[in-house]
Amino acid sequence: MSNTNENGAMLTADGQPLKRSLATALRRQKIRALLLISPLLIFVLITFLFPIGSMLFRSVENNIVVEILPETVVALATWDGKSGELPDETIYAAFAGDLQRAAKNKSHTRVGLRLNYEKSGSASLFKKTARQAKKWDLETDAPFKEKLIAAHKGWGEVEIWQTLKTHSSRYTAGYFLNAVDMRKTQNGPEMQPENRQILIKLFQRTLIMSLLITVACILLGYPVAWLLANLPRSQSNLLMILVLLPFWTSLLVRTSAWKVMLQQQGVINDIFVALGMIEESGRLVMINNQFGTIIAMTHILLPFMILPMYSVMQTIQPTYLQAAKSLGATNWTAFWRVYFPQSVPGIGAGSILVFILSIGYYITPEIVGGNKGVFISNRIAYHIFQSMNWGLAAALGAILLAVVLILYWAYDKVVGIDNVKLGG
């Protein structure tokens, strides 16, 4: 029996209050558990949270102009861009000094590239002018207004100065406006010209096609998952190997194989012609369009739908169906009213997995989709690797992330995420 002190508190064998000893032991246990999971927390922080935070920050970061042309930004603050008149000599002189310093340290191209996203031709404007600005004497070559206009007639246009002032702040919503086919101007947000309105259509196409791919995976995967769960063990194992076989093949190889099969001179068209289903002159166009993207991605993502459904179906007891039939239910009634409702959590888990994966795919649409079957993720990849417009790419990624979270929230409200499970 534990001892007690003069206040009646229980003591441990070494004379410490029992309550304090238990609290110390519990605290040590929590610290030990935290140390055990700390490698995983650090891994998640580095590989998941930090990249997302960096993406969100880059989508509003806009410090290129203000850091490379600081005196110009200060001088432009006093200029009324809506007046329609060119800036005065003070602003031209400040810009000449900033441009000369930027040309010497070769940072002028960054400003030109940044403004080129907003006004075409800005990159070449800065490059051509910077070559001459290196030779200027800032003390004796004034006035600079004429010199800049002589170097390139673009400096005599109000639009370039309006663009420079509009995008000179350290943080901007311009990238998000660009991501929804709008642009930031002196007069506030405006729609892009009609020939540049493409991103909203890509978002719509991505969501609609991802939904179609998810539905196709459900329709094709449900019978396979049912067979896996109800066939004898030997046959089920063989079928499972066939389901898992695509994971052992490169994604690029599988996508390229579909490109070969779906083209007009490909295997599928050859079979249709040989069977007399279509004429030689009427070969089907199944590649470089939305149809090709849906077919290839359904094949690639089908295992991700089958496995969650199978893991749920194998927990459904056959006795439930037997009991329903013994009470007079037909095979269809027993399936629809007894078996199917119990398999819905597996459908939900597979649907979430396939839908989210399909939204972010870009390799398969790039290879088989052409111009008509690409997703918004292909546009993000384009701005990262080709146009180098990382701000717009980050804004597109942030919007895509928000769409996924909203859909996830809506699914939780309608279906309930607690009803989604992977078996057990």
pLDDT, tens digit (0-9, with 9 covering 90-100), for 328-348: 889 899 999 999 999 988 898
Task: Find the mean pLDDT for residues 132-161.
Answer: 89
Average pLDDT of the segment spanning 108-136: 91
Inter-residue contact 118 to 193 (CB < 8 Å):
no
pLDDT of residue 200: 93
pLDDT digits (tens, 9 = 90+) for 251-265: 889 998 999 899 988
Confidence (pLDDT) at 7: 61
Q: Within the chain, how many helices (H) and strands (E) appear?
A: 21, 2
Using DSSP, state whether 324 is helix, strand or coil.
helix
Tokens describing residue 52: 């997302």
On the question of pLDDT at 416 being above 90, the answer is no
Residue 250 has pLDDT above 90, yes or no: no
User: What does DSSP assign to residue 278?
Assistant: S
Mean pLDDT on 220-234: 92
The answer to whether residue 118 scores a pLDDT higher than 70 is yes
Residue pair 289/370 in contact (Cβ under 8 Å)? The answer is yes
Cα separation, 357 vs 298, whole angstroms: 11
- pLDDT grade, residue 378 (50/70/90)? very high
136: confidence class by pLDDT, cuts 50, 70, 90 = confident
Q: What are phi and psi of 395, to 5 degrees?
A: -65, -40
Cα R_g (the chain), whole angstroms: 32
Instruction: Give the tens place of pLDDT for each residue, 230-244.
Output: 898 889 899 999 999
pLDDT at residue 15 greater than cutoff 70: no
Distances in whole angstroms, Cα of residue 235 to Cα of each of 230, 231, 238: 10, 6, 5
Alpha helices (runs of H) in 140-232, residue ranges in sequence order? 144-151, 158-166, 174-179, 199-230
**Of all residues in the chain, what percent carry a pLDDT higher than 70?**
94
Confidence of residue 1 (pLDDT cuts 50, 70, 90): very low
Band (66; pLDDT cuts 50, 70, 90):
very high
Domain boundaries, the chain: 1-58, 64-172, 199-419
The CATH number of the structural domain formed by 199-419 is 1.10.3720.10
C-alpha dihedral (192, 196, 200, 202), degrees to nearest 10: -170
User: Which residue's entry shows tokens 């896996």?
Assistant: 228
Query: Does position 69 have pLDDT exceeding 90, yes or no?
Result: yes
Q: What is the mean pLDDT of the chain?
A: 88
Reported as a pLDDT band with limits 50, 70 and 90, residue 407 is confident
How much is the pLDDT for 50? Answer: 87
